[in-house]
Structure formats: C-alpha cells, structure tokens
A and B are shown apart, each in its own frame.
Chain A
Amino acid sequence: MHEKVMIMTQSSLLPFVLLSPLVGSVVLLFVPSWRVRTIKSIALCTSVITFLASLFLWVFFNSSLSKFQFMYTFDWLPLSNIQCTLGIDGISLFFVLLTTFLTPICILTGWMSVTKYVREYTIAFLVMESLTIAVFCMLDLLLFYVFFESVLIPMFVIIGVWGSRERKIRAAYQFFIYTLFGSVLMLLAILLIYFQAGTTDLHILLATEFSERRQILLWLAFFASFAVKVPMVPVHIWLPEAHVEAPTAGSVVLAGIMLKLGTYGFLRFSIPMFPEATLYFTPLIYTMSVIGVMYASLTTVRQIDMKKIIAYSSVAHMAFVTLGLFSLNVQGIEGALLLMLSHGLVSGALFLCVGVLYDRHKTRLVKYYGGCVHTMPVFAVLFLFFTMGNISLPGTSSFIGEFLVLLGVFQSNTFITVLAATGMVLGGAYSLWLYNRVVFGTFKPSYLSTFSDVNRREFFVFLPFVVGVLWMGLYPEVFLDPMHASVSTIVQHGKFS
C-alpha cells in the first residue's frame, strides 16, 4: 500500500512540476490587474511551490540508474507513434531544478522595478517556466522541438514590453528571427528521422542506426538550431542585443535557462543519436568554441555597457561548455554540465548586480560608475563574490566546471586545451577590469547623486546564489553523483571511449 502511494506520487510529480506554473498563471488571469500585491504574492507562491516540488525530484532521484525516471506518458497523436513522454535523467534533473530555482528569483527581481503590466509580467515568467521545464523533460523529439520553439513567444514579449530602451524592438526582432531561422531546419530533420525510424520517441531513436551520410546531414540541421541558441560565435549576435535590452529578470532567464537549451540539445540529441557525425564534426566544434572563447573574451574587454560585458562573457563560457561536451569523455561532459549550472547561477547573479545598479542610477555605462565601495559596501562584497565566480576562482562552482572541462579536452586535444586555457586569463582580465571601474576608484558625484545599498529583498535574492555557488564549488559531489550514470551511458553508447 505504502509502496503504491509512493509510485503514484513519483509518477505524478513531474507533471505536477510542469503544470503548476501554468495553473498559477491561469489563476492570475482572473485576478484584476490593479491588485498588484495579490498578483505578485500568487505568482511568488506558485513558483516557490514549484521549486519545492522540484526539490522532491532530486530527493527521490535514484542516482545509480542511468535510465529515465519519473516517467509519464500521454497519448498525443494516435496512428503515428508520437507520444508525449516525460521523464528525467541525471542530465535534465539539474536543468529542471535550475529553472524552478530561477523563476521565483525573476519574480522577486521585478517586485518593485516592474510597474506596468505586472500581471502580464508574472504570467509571462510562469508560462516560460512551464515551457522550459517541458523542454528539459520531454522525451519525444517532435514535442521537444515544439517546446524548444515555443519559448520564443514569451521571451519576445518580455524583451519587447519590459525592455528598457527603444532599441529593444530591434533586439526582440533579432532574437526572434535568428532563433527561428536556426531552428526550422531542425523540424525538417526531425521529420526525416521520423520517416526512417517511424517514431520520434527518444528511447527508440537512441537505438536506431542512421547511415553516416544521413547522420551528417541531420547533425548539421540540428547544429544550425542549437548553435544559435548556445550561441556559438558566428551566430551569437542576437545575444548581446537581447541581453542588453531585456529587463533584469529577462536577462537572468536568458542567461540562466535559454542558453542551456542549446547545449542541452547537443548533449541529449546530437551526441547520442549521431555518434559518427559527432566524431566527424568534433574538430569543427573545437575550432568554433576556441574562437568563441578567445573572441568573446577579447570583445568583452572593449565593451562599455555592463550588461554587454556580462553577455559576452556568457558567450565565452558557453563556448567552454561546448568544448567540454564534445570532448566526449565523462570528465569533460560532466564538467560542461557543471559549468552550465554554475554559469546559470553566476551570470544570473551578475545580471542581478547590474540590475541593482540600474534600478538606482538608470544607466549601465561603466564610465558613470566608480567608487561604489564607499557607498554600497554590501553590494561591493556581493559583486566581488560573483566576479570571482565568473573568473572561476577555486572554491567557486565555475572552477570545478572549467577544470573538468579542461581535463576532458586535454585527453583528446592538448593544443585546443592550451588555447582554451587563455580564456581563463582573459576572463580574469575583463572581470577584474569591470569590477575595478565600478567598485573602486574615485566616485563620481557629478553623475551619481543618490546612494542606497542593497535592501533586504535584494539581499535575499542574492543569498541563494551565494549558497549555490559555494556549495557547488566546495562539495560538487552532490551534483556530480546523479549525473554520473547518465553521462557514462552517453559516452559508452556512442563508443567514444
């Protein structure tokens, strides 16, 4: 009896996590829009409940299994073997957690600064949360594509409506068209796969053999889509634009979750489904990633907008991630996964830091800032902490990630490792430069006239990030342990080692 109840709760846990934000947003529709306080509370409660429920996923997760857990199947399209199958393994577990972790923070971030369309703001974030969770636990290729794309609509609206300047329209456009152009080819690829395998169920596709020529074609089509989302260097232009124009919470979501969609796609689909093509294209990915690391880091040094600096540093970090993924050994992939999580925390927190400054002074240009340490000491400490996280100081989460990535890549290509390691130096350069300019130096009273340190709400928004970064940096085993079985399966499945 007890066991039955356990199984029942386990199988309905994932749909609950997936649907509760949606339910919350439907409830919000019926709250009149002038009751701002109620709206915010409902949204926050929903997202916190979702987060707590998703923690149970972690608790009940069996790390010794590499198969998908918490499976839930719903017959979606009859006659065509397309079923809506949900499930998570060690790879997707933490992405779901990251999503549910960041959403309450986004809602809290907009607590005071969002004053127009509050209801729509919260609804957009909740809907986005549902959609991204669906992406991370969908085990059907076609439906994965559907949710992968559908995130565009809420994000487009978030950038366009709550963005800060006139340029936001351009940014929203660029974001939308870039991502769409990238991903439509994937739709055709999915259909081709369907015609060969007769299904889009991931389990069956992993067991399907594609001919080498077809693998290359399909891999490229998937690559077009994922590379834009990652973003890899020639197609990264949308990212700085979108980041700079998005509202603070929008940037947090963009950096924390949206960038992970592409790399998650690589790991979930490209690598295990097309192993030969993956080996064939590994040099390409290595080259693009190394160029990405160096180019983005160097570009970061000459930016004057704080958000752009962090956006470009995201590009550099994501290039590290792809490098790790395509090292095709357990260390590299696990490092990449850890780096994704850590980047979700660190760059999210850095965007929040910029948001704190922007809320007070309404500018993001570095040259107006200086001497913050005199007026905002707590902020200076937090900012320092996350800057150190960004340059992967040992003890922070990014260090473990980057270290494992370099370890992984070193086993397959030393030269690339050497080049990639320059990224760590350059990362230190731009991060410290930014920190120096903003926090130290003389402060500029002619530009900034009012001061206030982080308030209690902001402090509590930052706190979970600090805990997460330190925890992951000092005791990564908790995070690596559930991943291990799944990652090893991928490596063995592709016969990469």
Chain B
Amino acid sequence: MTSQFLQLFENDLLALLPEVFLITSAIILLMYGVIWSTSQAHGYPILITNVGWLSLFVLSVAGLLVLHNPITTMVVLYNSLVVDQFSTLLKVVVLLSAFCSICISFEYFADERINAFEYIVLLLLSTCSMLLMVSSYDLISMYLAIEFQSLCFYVIAASKRTSEFSTEAGLKYFVLGAFSSGILLFGCSLLYGFTGVTNFEDLAKIFTGYAELPMLTSSGILIALIFLAVGFLFKITAAPFHMWAPDVYEGAPTCVTAFFAITPKVAVLGMFLRLFFSSFYDLMGPWQKIIVLCSLASMIVGALGAISQTKIKRLLAYSSIGHVGYLLIGFACGSVEGVQALLLYLIIYVIMTVNMFSAVLSLRTQGEGLRVKYLSDLSGLSRSNPILAFTLTMTLFSMAGIPPLAGFCSKFYVFFAALGSSMYVLAVVGVLTSVLSCFYYIRLVKVMYFETPHVWVSYAPMDKEKAVLLGLTLFFTMFFFVYPSPLFLLTHEIALSICL
C-alpha cells in the first residue's frame, strides 16, 4: 500500500521538490529560531541576521532545484499544479528577487533593531506560495496560493508594531486585499457554477471556439471573467484599483516595501497570464478591453500621480503603478510578442527596482541613522556620495525609458508588441506618459545633482551586500543594450511555450 502510494506520487514529489524543500526549510528555520531565541542559556540571542543568511542559502538551493529539476513539463497532483518552462522561468525570477530583497534588508534589520526572525520565515513562506502560484493549474489551487501569499504579506506589512504608519498600512492592505480576494473568489465560484469545472485545461476545452457561438455566450461567464480580472488587477495595483499601493508602500517598513515592489508582481502576472492565455484565449474580446482600459489608466495615474509627490516611497509607488500599466500593454496584446514583451519588461523591472530600493535602503544618516524620507533629503548627494548618485541617476533614466539603458529596451519592445497587434492608442498613450513620467524621474536627478542642500547630511556607508547588488544591477542596466539577445531569445522561447 505504502509503496504503491509512493509510486503514484513519485513524480509529483520530484516535480514539486523546490516547493517541498522551501516549506521544509522554512519550518526548520522557524523551529530553530523559536528554540534559540528563547534560550536563556544563550542569552536570548537576536536571530534575524542569522536566519536571514540561512534563508539566502535556502533560496539559492531552491533556485538550483528549480533549474535542475529532472521533470521539466508535467501536470501534477491531480491536475492542480503544472510544471513547465514558463513556470520554471518565473520561479527562478521569483526566487532571485526574493533573494535580492532579503539581501538588501540585512542592514535595515540591524539598524532598526527588529528582533523578529519570523519576518524572514514569513518571507520564505510567501516565496513558496508564489512558486505555487506560478505553477497553479486549477482555480482552487490558484486561490489558495494567492491567499497563502496575501496572508504572509498582511503580517509583514504590519510587522513594525511601534510605528503607527506600519500598522495602518497593514490594516489597509488587509482590508483591501481581503476584499479583492473575495471578488476573485466570487469570480471563481461563478465560473465553477456555470461550467462545472475548475481546472484550467478543462476550462480551455469548454471555451474553445466559445466566442463563435454567440447564443451560448452567457452573461454569467462574462461577469465571472470581470470579477476574476478585477481581483487580479487589485493584486497587481493596476490603476482604478491602485488606491492602497501608495499608502502601503509608504507605511510599511522599507525592506517590506522593497519586497512588495519587487516580488509579487512576477508571480501574480505569471499566474493570470497562464489563466487568461490558456483558459480564456477565445474570450479575449471581453478581457482584452478591461486590460486595455486598466493599462491606460495605470499609465496615466502613474505619470500624473507621481508628479506632485514629495516622499520617495510614495513616488516609487506611483512609478510602480505606471510600470504596471506598461506591463499590462504586453498582456493586452494577446500575442506572442506581447507575452515576450511582458516577460522582458518584468525581468528588467525587477532588476531596476532592486537597484532602486537598495539605493534607497542604504541612504541613512551617519550617527542617528535617520532614513531618507523626502525627495529633498537627497540634495547634495552627488557631492557626498557621487557613485551612489550616479547609480541612482542611471536607474532613474532607465526607469524613464531613456535609451540606451535597459529600461528603454523593455519599453521599446512593449510598444513594438502593441503596434504589432494594432493597439495604436495604447502605444501612443504609453509613449506620451513615458515622457511625462520623465518629469519626476528627472526631478530626482535634479535634486541630487543641481541643488545645494540647506543642511549637509553625511550618509553612513552601505554594506557589502547592497553594494554588490547595486553594482551588478547597474552593470546590467547600463550594458544590457550592448548584447540583449540572450534574454530576448529566452523570453521568446518561453512566450512561445505559453502561447502555443
């Protein structure tokens, strides 16, 4: 009996080895942390840095497992999860971005005297949930993975209990997140009610050629689709549903904001890409309209909203809303180029954001350790920390999409895809908002380079991890243009695998 059981699930376990490993190690780290941090014999040690380093090790092993998984394409666990090239790529990106965002927050923990190793464990668990999201192949597993991730996020957003902002951010995030999950769940249940299936593949079979049969088009299905799309757009902070993002970004501790900004977009976009492209491909008419509208709205809100911001984190929040708009252009195209553009944009966005946040996290004053909060605090940075100012400038120009930096390549390919599928309005609005958004990106450059500060601030030196990451990402941003073909080919292959 036992051996038969093992045989039945042998391949399943193999295919899900990274997730299993991640969960197990998270539990082991939790136990380790609980036991040692409450140990009187060792003087109640503060374990966050220790657990953090161990988690980095765990993440890299998980990354290796993902890359060297013997099973590359398979549907596992009674059709509820899938492993394929697409999920493998996204898993690697998720793990890498989680790695980077833990890497850049060590000094923050030490500096803010955060004594909660659970934070790291929660990050690991949410990373694991994102791996599951990326490979979910069923409405139920999808919803469960989302909830798993969101719960972890609610907790870490409110993790700084002494700060009012953090608690408020956590509360706001919880209320709106739970609300959007509710909407998503209602969409799922409607879909199940009208079709009787929850599996992506079965849904795809039902909806094949669906649009050609107008008498069969049920309004219930359309409503379900809208609810699903709204839930999805909530999760990636697309524009009409973006209201929580600036507050949460600002209120949450900066390292948490970095994690929010970098990681979840990859997983959520990946999951919905699979759902919309494999299951609802023939219903593209309706969902494309929604995505197009949200993309337009996000680009405009991102460009206009950030202009009058004075705080760095809020500015970054609006900037990320704008970037979501561009990502959604790729989504809305519904073509291979569109998916490729989205993946390319996603990867470059992650790298630029890692750079941005490691710079922002490293800016704290010598002595009091006050963190930079307002844009005007950056004035004179070009004189006090010229290399950091240069790095930040390049990243900002890249985010604005000025050639020949990496950000331009991604934007260019998005517009390429948009024009390829005749989305002229999206392309024109995208181009114009990218010029508008230049205003605020350049404003930061102006503050750093041209303004003389009223009070000179000397910043504490940054630690090695951040310095290495900053260097690597800057190198990528500046020189991606010289030899873009590997990433292009890779994303092209993955896009083909999801679309065909």
Enumerate chain B residues within 8 angstroms of A180, measured Cβ to Cβ: 402, 435, 438
Is A75 interfacial (CB 8 A cutoff)? Answer: yes
**CA gap between A180 and B438 in the complex, in Å:** 9
CB-nearest residue of chain B to A192: B419
**CA gap between A161 and B445 in the complex, in Å:** 11
Binary interface encoding of chain A residues 146-180 relative to chain B, with 1 for a CB under 8 A from any of its CBs, else 0? 11011011001100110000001100110011001
Is A480 interfacial (CB 8 A cutoff)? Answer: no
Q: Say whether B397 contacts A153, CB under 8 Å.
A: yes
Q: Say whether A150 contacts B431, CB under 8 Å.
A: no
A188-B438 contact given A146-B404, A160-B449, A161-B449, CB 8 Å threshold? no
Q: Say whether A150 contacts B403, CB under 8 Å.
A: yes
Q: Say whether B402 contacts A79, CB under 8 Å.
A: no
**CA gap between A41 and B419 in the complex, in Å:** 49
A168-B450 contact given A149-B402, A180-B438, A188-B427, CB 8 Å threshold? yes
Enumerate chain A residues within 8 angstroms of B488, measured Cβ to Cβ: 77-79
Q: Say whether B432 contacts A184, CB under 8 Å.
A: yes
Is chain A's binding surface mostly helix, strand, loop or mixed? helix
Is A475 interfacial (CB 8 A cutoff)? Answer: no
**CA gap between A247 and B481 in the complex, in Å:** 30
**CA gap between A163 and B232 in the complex, in Å:** 48
Is B408 interfacial (CB 8 A cutoff)? Answer: yes
**CA gap between A153 and B441 in the complex, in Å:** 13
Enumerate chain A residues within 8 angstroms of B450, measured Cβ to Cβ: 160-161, 168-169, 172
Q: Say whether A191 contacts B492, CB under 8 Å.
A: no
Is B428 interfacial (CB 8 A cutoff)? Answer: yes
Is A479 interfacial (CB 8 A cutoff)? Answer: no
Enumerate chain B residues within 8 angstroms of A187, measured Cβ to Cβ: 412, 415, 431
Q: Say whether B431 contacts A185, CB under 8 Å.
A: yes
Query: Would you give the shortest CB distance from A176 to chain B, in whole angstroms?
Result: 6
CB contact list, A172-207 vs B, under 8 A? 172-173, 176-177, 180-181, 184-185, 187-188, 191-192, 194-195
Query: Would you give the shortest CB distance from A416 to chain B, in whole angstroms?
Result: 34
Q: Say whether A176 contacts B442, CB under 8 Å.
A: yes
Binary interface encoding of chain A residues 222-240 relative to chain B, with 1 for a CB under 8 A from any of its CBs, else 0? 0000000000000000000
Is B36 interfacial (CB 8 A cutoff)? Answer: no
CB-nearest residue of chain A to B400: A180
Enumerate chain B residues within 8 angstroms of A145, measured Cβ to Cβ: 403
**CA gap between A304 and B415 in the complex, in Å:** 45
**CA gap between A176 and B439 in the complex, in Å:** 9
Q: Give the residue of A157, A177, A194 whose beta carbon is less than 8 angstroms from that of B435.
A: A177
Is A451 interfacial (CB 8 A cutoff)? Answer: no
Q: Say whether B402 contacts A78, CB under 8 Å.
A: no
**CA gap between A192 and B450 in the complex, in Å:** 38
Is chain B's binding surface mostly helix, strand, loop or mixed? helix
Query: Would you give the shortest CB distance from B403 to chain A, in whole angstroms?
Result: 4
Query: Would you give the shortest CB distance from A79 to chain B, in whole angstroms?
Result: 6
Interface size class of B (residues with CB under 8 A): 20 to 34
Enumerate chain A residues within 8 angstroms of B419, measured Cβ to Cβ: 188, 191-192, 195
Binary interface encoding of chain A residues 423-441 relative to chain B, with 1 for a CB under 8 A from any of its CBs, else 0? 0000000000000000000
**CA gap between A146 and B382 in the complex, in Å:** 27
Is B13 interfacial (CB 8 A cutoff)? Answer: no
Is B484 interfacial (CB 8 A cutoff)? Answer: yes
Enumerate chain A residues within 8 angstroms of B449, measured Cβ to Cβ: 157, 160-161
Q: Say whether A76 contacts B427, CB under 8 Å.
A: no
Query: Would you give the shortest CB distance from A305 to chain B, in whole angstroms?
Result: 21
Q: Say whether A150 contacts B404, CB under 8 Å.
A: yes
**CA gap between A145 and B431 in the complex, in Å:** 14
Q: Say whether B485 contacts A78, CB under 8 Å.
A: yes
Query: Would you give the shortest CB distance from B101 to chain A, in whole angstroms?
Result: 28
Enumerate chain A residues within 8 angstroms of B403, measured Cβ to Cβ: 145-147, 149-150
Q: Say whether A153 contacts B431, CB under 8 Å.
A: no
Query: Would you give the shortest CB distance from A190 to chain B, in whole angstroms?
Result: 9
**CA gap between A189 and B431 in the complex, in Å:** 12
**CA gap between A169 and B442 in the complex, in Å:** 11
**CA gap between A157 and B416 in the complex, in Å:** 30
**CA gap between A497 and B442 in the complex, in Å:** 47
Is B489 interfacial (CB 8 A cutoff)? Answer: yes
Q: Say whether A177 contacts B416, CB under 8 Å.
A: no
CB contact list, B389-419 vs A, under 8 A? 397, 402-404, 408, 412, 415-416, 419
CB contact list, A127-160 vs B, under 8 A? 142, 145-147, 149-150, 152-153, 156-157, 160
Q: Say whether A184 contacts B431, CB under 8 Å.
A: yes
Is B434 interfacial (CB 8 A cutoff)? Answer: yes
**CA gap between A149 and B420 in the complex, in Å:** 23
Query: Would you give the shortest CB distance from A114 to chain B, in whole angstroms?
Result: 16
**CA gap between A77 and B438 in the complex, in Å:** 27
Q: Say whether B404 contacts A75, CB under 8 Å.
A: no
**CA gap between A173 and B485 in the complex, in Å:** 34
Interface centre among B403, B446, B485 (most CB of A within 10 A): B403
**CA gap between A250 and B418 in the complex, in Å:** 38
CB-nearest residue of chain B to A161: B449
A188-B428 contact given A169-B450, A177-B435, A180-B438, CB 8 Å threshold? yes
Binary interface encoding of chain A residues 361-373 relative to chain B, with 1 for a CB under 8 A from any of its CBs, else 0? 0000000000000
Binary interface encoding of chain A residues 55-90 relative to chain B, with 1 for a CB under 8 A from any of its CBs, else 0? 000000000000000000001111100000000000
Q: Say whether B434 contacts A184, CB under 8 Å.
A: yes
Query: Would you give the shortest CB distance from A331 to chain B, in whole angstroms?
Result: 36
**CA gap between A142 and B409 in the complex, in Å:** 11
**CA gap between A185 and B424 in the complex, in Å:** 12
**CA gap between A194 and B413 in the complex, in Å:** 12
Q: Say whether A147 contacts B442, CB under 8 Å.
A: no
Q: Say whether B485 contacts A76, CB under 8 Å.
A: yes
Binding site for B on A (CB under 8 A): 75-79, 120, 142, 145-147, 149-150, 152-153, 156-157, 160-161, 168-169, 172-173, 176-177, 180-181, 184-185, 187-188, 191-192, 194-195
Beyond A152-B402, A161-B382: 9 further Cβ-contacts under 8 Å?
A: A76-B484, A76-B485, A77-B485, A146-B403, A160-B446, A161-B450, A187-B412, A187-B415, A195-B419
- Give 3 nearest A-B pairs by CB, closest first: A146-B403, A184-B431, A149-B403
